[in-house]
């Protein structure tokens, strides 16, 4: 096995080679750090923290017989790790190293994987382009003038150019699915409560989920299986075993997919629609039935989200005050000055915008009109999804209304940025799982994607449908372990 080409392997293959002894954990872990990957990093800038020594030590400690033995993983910089800083793309956490690790990180290590880098992100996960990071933007590997999506743009891009076969992000309103789509990789947002949030720096507590990036559906499945399950440290995790995703390759014959075409009649780019049409055709070839219906337009979900997420965030981010950790303004003569100056200097403009909005939505006199109303709207939206899933096993719809947009294009228009989440936000409000599935490149070489949504605990179905799309509905390619070719970025 040529170490120089290890970086192209799927996680499943790589781990198999490590288990068999053909490849050492050290070789596997270092695979993405040589050429050509490191050349990509110079331009893409997906990584914000890494440490060769920590990597080597972790590789030396790998247990060889696990599902992800030796597999390098890039994780978003809002997941607590003890050997690398956790800074959430923010000045206010500059230099912070957590004294504990997130449960999902611990489970990755228990599965034999090695966290090799922290990925760039929009500050505190607030953004859809990874342009709001104090470290500067990450660029899309498929076109360096474009955004990789956000807020988990760093890990998405890193997986896309080959730094690691698996990445972890967080998805509050689409922050795993949308960058996955923009970077041509898979992005799974699990059912709320299936992956522990302990150690994930909170943005919107009732919406956040740790998400998984990978280049192959199989890798999403094995990573999910390694991470999912109840956690006594997180009271919002579901008790009982997580759904069994081992049947991800068993096809979709006889299953139904919803087709809410009213959602993309307007405002969605033709390439995105083409990707949907092709995917639907592939699924029908694979034996699934298309069920057309109308679905609630996404504006309501966006409005609901921007009240609830910001309200929760305004409270979650209060702990960043310069007292116990993080940045403290040097000129803090009294307690109020300490708070105000540290926070105003340490938190970026988009974060401050959302804190203001959330504080407003909760403040006396406005709680009923904003927060409470949004909680009621959320119930309505959940009900809409329940009704839809009475008629189909999964829904097929876009991830984002556009292809990746240019750096700087939406940065001055918060509302336009928020509306790019119009198809992803609903799943967070409903607590249901969503999977971004790459469907090739446009003629211009940019990634296209479609989104699958399903009811709670339908991750097994989502993966079966994703696999069917992955093999273009070609039943002859339906064999366990059969890997499809990944459409690597080429231009730099």
Partner 1 sequence: MAYEAVIGLECHIQLSTRTKMFCACPVGFGAAANTHVCPVCLGLPGALPVVNRAAIDAAVRLGLALGCDVRGSSVFARKNYFYPDMPKNYQITQYDQPLCVGGALTIVIDGAERSFELTRIHAEEDTGKSSHPERLHDRRVSRVDFNRAGVPLLELVTEPRFHDPDECAVFLAALRRLVRWLGISDADMEKGHLRCDANVSLRPRGESRLGVKTELKNLNSIKGVGKGITAEIARQTRLLEAGDRVEQTTLLYDADHDRLVVMRSKESAHDYRYFPEPDLPVLAVSPAWVEDARSRLPELPWVREERLIAEHGLPVYDAAVLTEQREASDYFEAVAARVDAKLASNWVMTEVLRVLRERGWSFADWNAKVPPERLAGLLTRVASRELPGPLAKQAFGWLPDEEGDVATLLERHGVRVRASADDLLPLVLAVIDENPGPVEQVLAGRTQTFGFLVGQVMKKSGGQAVPQTVQELLRAELAKRGQAP
Partner 2 sequence: MPIRREEVERIAELARLELAPERLERAAAELSRVLDFVAALDRLDLAGCEPSVFAPADASLREDVPDGDRLDAGRATAMAPSAEDGYFLVPPIVENLNP
Of 414, 426, 475, 473, nearest in space to 453 by CA: 426
Residue list 228-257, contact with partner 1 (CB under 8 A): 232-236
d(CA 456, CA 306): 23
The answer to whether residue 294 forms part of the interface with partner 2 (CB under 8 A) is no
Query: Dihedral of the CA atoms 423, 284, 266, 381 (nearest 10)?
Result: -40
What residues from 95 to 154 belong to the interface with partner 2 (CB under 8 A)?
96-97, 99-100
Task: Count CA atoms closer than 13 A to 246's CA, side-chain side.
Answer: 3
Stretch near partner 1 under the rule CB under 8 A, chosen from 52-60, 62-70, 138-146, 203-211: 203-211
Exactly one of 19, 256, 373, 477 binds partner 2 (CB under 8 A); that residue is 373
* Beta partners for residue 146, in sequence order: 406
38 is catalytic: no
Query: Rounded to the nearest whole angstrom, what is the least distance from the CB of residue 197 to partner 2 in the complex?
Result: 11
- Answer whether 286's CB lies under 8 Å from 475's CB: yes
Does the footprint of partner 1 cover residue 442 (CB under 8 A)?
A: no
Catalytic-labelled residue, pool 31, 90, 129, 151: 151
Cβ proximity of 183 and 154 under 8 Å: no
Is residue 376 near partner 2 by the rule CB under 8 A? Answer: yes
Q: Indicate if 76 belongs to the active site.
A: yes
Does residue 151 have an active-site annotation? yes
Spatial distance between the Cα atoms of 286 and 391, rounded to a whole number of angstroms = 19
Among residues 57 and 367, whose Cβ is nearest to partner 1? 367
Among 150, 154, 187, 199, binds partner 1 (CB under 8 A): 199
Q: Output the smallest distance, CB 99 to partner 1, in A.
A: 7
Least spacing, CB of residue 27 vs partner 1, in Å: 32
Q: Which does 195 bind (CB under 5 to 8 A by kind): partner 2, partner 1, none?
A: none
Q: Which region holds residue 431: left if phi is over 0, alpha if psi is between -120 and 50, else beta?
A: left
Q: Positive or negative, the Cα torsion across 481, 487, 490, 492? A: negative
**Least distance CB 238 / partner 2 (angstroms):** 5
- What is the layout of strands, in order, in the sheet containing 209-214? 47-49, 114-119, 72-76, 166-171, 209-214, 186-189, 434-441, 447-453, 394-397, 256-259, 289-292
Site string for partner 2, 220-239 (x = CB under 8 A): ------------x--xxxxx
Pick from 379, 445, 474, 481: which binds partner 2 (CB under 8 A)? 379
Work out whether 321 is an interface residue with partner 2 (CB under 8 A).
yes
CA 377 to chain centre: 25
d(C-alpha 460, C-alpha 188), whole Å:
12
**Closest listed residue to residue 166, CA positions, set 38, 29, 263, 314:** 29
- Span from 85-93, 158-166, 292-300, 386-394 in contact with partner 1 (CB under 8 A): 85-93
Q: What is the dihedral of CA 412, 413, 417, 418, to 10 degrees?
A: 130
Binds partner 2 (CB under 8 A): choice among 299, 406, 475, 481: 299
Residue from the set 264, 293, 360, 488 that interacts with partner 2 by CB under 8 A: 360
Candidates 26, 29, 80, 302; binder of partner 1 (CB under 8 A) is: 80
Site string for partner 1, 347-386 (x = CB under 8 A): ------------x--xxx--x---x---------------
Compute φ and ψ for 370, nearest 5 degrees. Answer: -115, -70
Paired tokens of 135: 């470290």
* Residues annotated as part of the active site: 76, 151, 175
Would you tell me which residues interact with partner 2 (CB under 8 A)?
A: 96-97, 99-100, 192-193, 206, 232, 235-240, 299-300, 302-304, 306-307, 314, 318, 321-328, 332-341, 343-344, 347, 352-353, 355-357, 359-360, 363, 370, 372-380, 382-383, 414-415, 418, 431
């Amino acid at each position: 096995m040529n170490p120089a080409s290890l970086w192209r392997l799927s996680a499943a293959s790589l781990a198999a080679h490590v288990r068999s002894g053909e490849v050492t954990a050290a070789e596997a872990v270092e695979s993405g750090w040589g050429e050509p990957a490191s050349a990509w990093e110079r331009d893409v800038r997906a990584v914000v923290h890494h440490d060769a020594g920590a990597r080597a030590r972790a590789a030396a400690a790998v247990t060889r017989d696990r599902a992800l033995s030796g597999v390098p993983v890039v994780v978003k910089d809002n997941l607590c790790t003890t050997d690398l800083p956790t800074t959430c793309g923010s000045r206010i956490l500059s230099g912070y190293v957590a004294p504990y690790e997130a449960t999902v990180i611990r489970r990755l290590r228990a599965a034999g994987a090695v966290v090799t880098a922290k990925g760039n992100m929009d500050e505190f996960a607030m953004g859809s382009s990874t342009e709001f990071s104090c470290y500067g933007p990450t660029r899309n590997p498929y076109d360096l003038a474009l955004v990789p999506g956000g807020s988990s743009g760093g890990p998405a891009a890193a997986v896309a150019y080959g730094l690691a076969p698996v990445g972890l992000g967080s998805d509050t309103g689409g922050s795993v699915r949308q960058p996955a789509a923009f970077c041509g990789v898979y992005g799974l947002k699990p059912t709320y409560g299936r992956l522990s949030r302990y150690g994930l720096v909170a943005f919107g507590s009732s919406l956040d989920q740790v998400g998984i990036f990978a280049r192959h559906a199989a890798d999403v499945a094995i990573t999910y299986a390694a991470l999912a399950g109840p956690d006594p440290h997180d009271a919002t995790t579901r008790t009982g075993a997580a759904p069994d995703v081992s049947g991800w390759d068993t096809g979709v014959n006889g299953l139904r997919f919803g087709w809410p075409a009213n959602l993309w009649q307007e405002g969605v780019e033709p390439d995105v629609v083409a990707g949907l049409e092709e995917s639907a055709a592939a699924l029908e070839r694979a034996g699934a039935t298309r069920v057309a219906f109308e679905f609630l337009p996404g504006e309501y979900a966006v409005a609901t989200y921007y009240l609830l997420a910001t309200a929760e965030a305004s409270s979650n981010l209060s702990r960043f005050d310069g007292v116990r950790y993080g940045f403290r303004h040097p000129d803090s003569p009294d307690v109020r000055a300490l708070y105000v100056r540290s926070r105003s200097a340490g938190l970026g403009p988009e974060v401050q915008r959302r804190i203001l909005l959330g504080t407003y939505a909760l403040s006396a006199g406005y709680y009923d009109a904003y927060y409470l109303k949004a909680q009621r709207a959320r119930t309505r939206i959940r009900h809409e999804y329940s009704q839809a899933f009475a008629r189909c096993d999964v829904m097929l719809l876009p991830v984002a209304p556009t292809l990746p947009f240019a750096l700087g294009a939406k940065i001055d228009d918060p509302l336009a940025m928020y509306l790019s989440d119009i198809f992803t936000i609903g799943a967070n409000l409903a607590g249901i799982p969503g999977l971004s599935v790459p469907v090739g490149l446009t003629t211009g070489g940019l990634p296209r994607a479609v989104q699958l949504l399903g009811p709670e605990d339908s991750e097994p179905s989502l993966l079966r449908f994703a696999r069917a799309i992955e093999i273009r509905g070609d039943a002859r390619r339906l064999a366990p372990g059969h890997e499809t070719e990944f459409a690597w970025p080429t231009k730099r």
